[in-house]
Structures are given as structure tokens and as C-alpha cells.
Structure 1
Amino acid sequence: MDIQNVKNMLGINTDKHDSYISEVIPLFIEQAQEYCNNTFGEELPAGVKLYVAKAVQHNMNPSNVKSRTMGNVSYSYELDLPKSITKYLAPYKKVRF
């Protein structure tokens, strides 16, 4: 999976984020492999590609701010990927003994 695949899936038309995307693609692929206990071989399955693209999109949000209150200054951050993104990996998960 390369930068252009991710950019096409997310509808990104600029080169502004290319260095970030090229750095995190291998990290999200490795994270998917660890989560699924699966190495996937040469070609990644479609669900894993969707997971990588959505994870990149989620992490491109500024500081992953979930909610903010201005009255008494309360911030809430989302540190984990939402289940709506990790659901793409469910069919590829293998049980390890």
C-alpha cells in the first residue's frame, strides 16, 4: 500500500500531507498485523486497506480533540481509534494459541 492509494481512498488532492502519510502507513499496517495475529502476505486485504486509510484520516485531525468546553476550560481527547475503524479488521483476526 502506498501514499497514492491512501490519498485516493480519502479524496486528498494535495501533496501537503505526503511525508506524514508515508511515515504512518507502515505503522498502521504493523498495528493491524498485531491486532489480527496475521501477516497478510504480499497483498493486503481490502478491509486492512480501509483500516489503514481511515486510521490515517482519524489521526490527521488536530490533536484528536473529542470535546471542548470554553466556560471552565474542559478538554477531552480521544486517544484510541474508534470501533467504527477497527471493525474493518474483524474478519481477518486469527486466534493464537
Structure 2
Amino acid sequence: MYRPTDEEVKEIMLINGENRTEQEAHYRTMLPLIFDHVKEECNNTFGDSETTAPVIPGGVKIFMAKAIEFYQNKTGLRNRSMGSVSYSFESELPRSLYNNLRAYRKVRFRAQR
């Protein structure tokens, strides 16, 4: 399983403009989950195995940072009313975020039946 290094956590936090140490635990928890999603979406392991650490390209780091920001509801807020206090949130990542992963996708072949 992917475990982010201290440098990776700090780099991804800086992409989002975060530098508070209390957010570090949240990033450390979310990064492996989002990286699993990236591996599945791209059909690419990025060299991740039990013996070697993955090499994460810049576009993937941007995707991971923006996904964490989205799930913190900074960008996930879709609607907000002040009268009777009503909030609406997006629950799925925007398709525009996936543009960062386009260059790292590998082709999947499926057998026709």
C-alpha cells in the first residue's frame, strides 16, 4: 500500500496553499485513498509494488491535491442560501479534474464476446 513520504505530503499541501501542521494528518490519511483511485482510473500502478515506491508525476500530484481540496468542501460547495440556511454539495469529483490524469492513462483491452 502506498505510504506518502513527508516531502510528498508537504508538496501536495503546498499545491493547495496549506502549511498548517494540523492538516498534515488529514492529508496523510487521504493520499493513499486518492492514489488508489488514480491507479484504478489510469490503469497504471506508477511503479507501485511492495519493493519499490511509486513515482508520482506532477499531473497526478495536482489531481490528488485538488481532490483533497474538493473533499474538504472548499470547492465542493455548489449552492448556498442564507434565508433558511440551505447548503448543497457536489459528491463526485468534477470531470475537469480528470484532465490532469489524461496523459497517464494506459489502454485497457477487453475481450469481445
Q: TM-score, normalised by structure 2?
A: 0.73
Structure with a larger share of its residues in helix: 1
Distance 2:72 2:84 in 1: 27
Detail structure 1 runs of 4+ shifted over 3 Å in the superposition: 69-75
Q: Which fold has the larger relative contact order, with Cα–Cα distance below 8 Å and residues 6 or more apart in sequence?
A: 1
**Structure 1's 4 and 73: CA in aligned 2 closer, same or farther, altered over 3 A?**
closer
Unaligned runs of 5+ in 1: none
Q: How does 1:28-39 map to 2 (within 5 A)?
A: 28-39=34-45
Secondary structure class of the residue paired with 2:21: coil
Which amino acid is 2:62 matched to?
A: L
Tell me, yes or no, if structure 1 residue 59 matches structure 2 residue 71. Answer: yes
Unaligned runs of 5+ in 2: 48-53
Q: TM-score, normalised by structure 1?
A: 0.84
Q: Is the 8 A contact 2:10 2:19 kept in 1?
A: no
User: Percent identity over the alignment?
Assistant: 38
